[in-house]
Chain A
Amino acid sequence: MDKETLKQKILEVMQKKAGSGGKSKIYLKDLQREIPEANPRDIKNAANELVREGKLEYFSTGSTVMYGLPGVGMGLEAGVEKPKEE
């Protein structure tokens, strides 16, 4: 599978997962499970490239990292609104 096809496939998986009211953040492993025909390292490289292009974003707890679609689900500041400046 060439890289562009793989990237397209990753976005489709993400949209499908997020669309059905499901998960907005998924692990690299979940992507690998959904696209078994691709090599895990290629999936990793493609997903990281999508982040650089702004089509995916990282969500990190510090100990693990998940991928999400920008603006979907838990937001930039983990649902925290920055207080207004007085």
Chain B
Amino acid sequence: MGEVKKHDTPMMDELKSGPWPSFVDDIYNYAEKHKKQACFDILGQMELSYKNKETHWKHGGIVGVFGYGGGVIGRYSDQQDKFPAIWAFHTVRVNQPAAKWYHSSALRKLCDLWDHRGSGIMNLHGSTGDIILLGTVTEQLEYIFYDLTHQLKMDLGGSGSNLRTPECCMGMSRCEWSCIDTQDITYELTMHFQDELHRPAFPYKFKIKVSGCPNDCVAAIARADFSIIGTWRDDIKIDQEAVRAYVAGELKPNAGAHSDRDWGPFDIKKEVIDLCPTKCMFWDEGQKKLYINNKECNRCMHCINVMPEALRPGDDRGAVILMGAKAPILEGAQLSTVIVPFMRLEPPYDNLKNLLYKVWDYWMENGKNRERLGETIQRVGLNRFIVDVLGLKPLPQHVKEPRSNPYIFWKEEEVEGGWTRDVAEFRKRHPA
């Protein structure tokens, strides 16, 4: 490799002066150590973009690995003369292990692979959840794919109009609140839907994310077309002894998470009872006893988060299935909406898979180009989607709150006498 050339980047250099470690330092250190022209060029091009206030990346292309319709995203510089080392700078998405646990030796191997065959720049993790390997040329793609699959036993992730790499919170591997085995569900769905993951199947992208409890640490409700969130149906388990210990200041609220400042003594009324969104809790000061009206509880997790030693999710566990979240491309951002209030999730998760097939069959046939599931639901109407498409019964849980979406739509056959009326008969009672 010949001499490498650093570009003049005053605006990039300014970013190094902030209080946090800067990616500019990181990339320059790496570029100098490994003599990588691509890294110098990428900062050079970024400087130019800051100056011109426009991007110099072109996108789109036929790049990919044989047999896969996703996982590689073609990117090209439109400034090849100035920055020849990044004329092609493709992104490779790598399917992360469920809950993102690695052995450090796997990460080392991955870094070696990328030093050797790519720019050396990577991003753990992209907002999709995948490991993102940033910047390589077309000629390297098949080698990268071979090394990944044969040496690291890793696979490419999803991109394009495919199922995207399913993602989950750490679930039962570390978190006592997990009501479902998020990692197992994610692994099972990933393996079962390999074809949908690697080959385009849909009108647009489709994301599945799994959180073990309503704290929703992977933000499934905001980021997934199909959000699976653990919940329970029976009562919150209360250890009254531990509740009294919190009230007496013997246990730290929120497991000590807010102990960097003195917030004064713990006040169960102010910090728990009054913040319960459904106002279903009661602290009897005289009896020193906590009551919860579980019928009204909406499983928001607040009280459990504040007093983890005293309160636990119940034992009748499963998940709520929500659908339709998306970022604002058409119509603005949207959260997923409840479709199945409670589903028991046990291997091999056939109930879950069947629901997915039902949704996909409809969306593949009726979704428009680049229309996310949430937009399709909006277009046909939530009621029609629930009743006609999925064949489910409308339930109170589908209604966000009274008077916000309570409109009940009838079909003609459900109305006695139908839509048509006898005008002559009507006029007898209501003269014109």
- Enumerate chain A interface residues (CB-CB to B < 8 A): 27-30, 32, 40-41, 44, 48, 51-52, 57-65, 68, 74-78, 80, 82-83
CB atoms of A83 and B80 under 8 A apart = yes
CB atoms of B361 and A62 under 8 A apart = no
Task: Please tell me if B190 contacts chain A, counting CB pairs below 8 Å.
Answer: no
Residues of A within 8 A of B87 (CB): 80, 82-83
Residues of A within 8 A of B159 (CB): 60, 62-63
Which of A40, A58, A74 lies in contact with B364, CB distance below 8 A? Answer: A40
**Shortest distance in angstroms between A39's beta carbon and chain B's nearest beta carbon?**
8
CB atoms of B200 and A65 under 8 A apart = yes
Given contacts A44-B201, A76-B62, contact A60 B361 (CB under 8 A): no
User: Can you give 19 A-B contacts (C-beta < 8 A)?
Assistant: A29-B367, A29-B368, A41-B361, A48-B200, A51-B69, A52-B66, A57-B62, A60-B62, A60-B73, A61-B59, A62-B59, A63-B159, A63-B160, A64-B161, A74-B60, A76-B61, A78-B61, A80-B87, A82-B87
* Residue on A nearest B84 in the bound complex, by CB: A83
Say what secondary structure dominates the interface of chain B: loop
Question: 8 extra interchain contacts, Cβ-Cβ under 8 A, other than A41-B201, A60-B74?
Answer: A29-B369, A59-B62, A60-B63, A62-B91, A64-B161, A64-B205, A65-B161, A77-B76
Task: Please tell me if B70 contacts chain A, counting CB pairs below 8 Å.
Answer: yes
A69 and B23 alpha carbons, distance in the complex (Å): 41
* Residue on A nearest B362 in the bound complex, by CB: A40
CB atoms of B364 and A80 under 8 A apart = no
A27 and B161 alpha carbons, distance in the complex (Å): 9
CB atoms of B201 and A58 under 8 A apart = no
CB atoms of B369 and A62 under 8 A apart = no
A34 and B189 alpha carbons, distance in the complex (Å): 32
A48 and B201 alpha carbons, distance in the complex (Å): 9
- Between B69, B80, B91, B361, the greatest number of chain A beta carbons within 10 A of the residue's beta carbon is seen for B69
Which of B59, B62, B76, B162 lies in contact with A68, CB distance below 8 A? Answer: B62
- Between B199, B200, B365, the greatest number of chain A beta carbons within 10 A of the residue's beta carbon is seen for B200
Task: Please tell me if B67 contacts chain A, counting CB pairs below 8 Å.
Answer: yes
Residues of B within 8 A of A58 (CB): 62, 64, 69, 160, 200
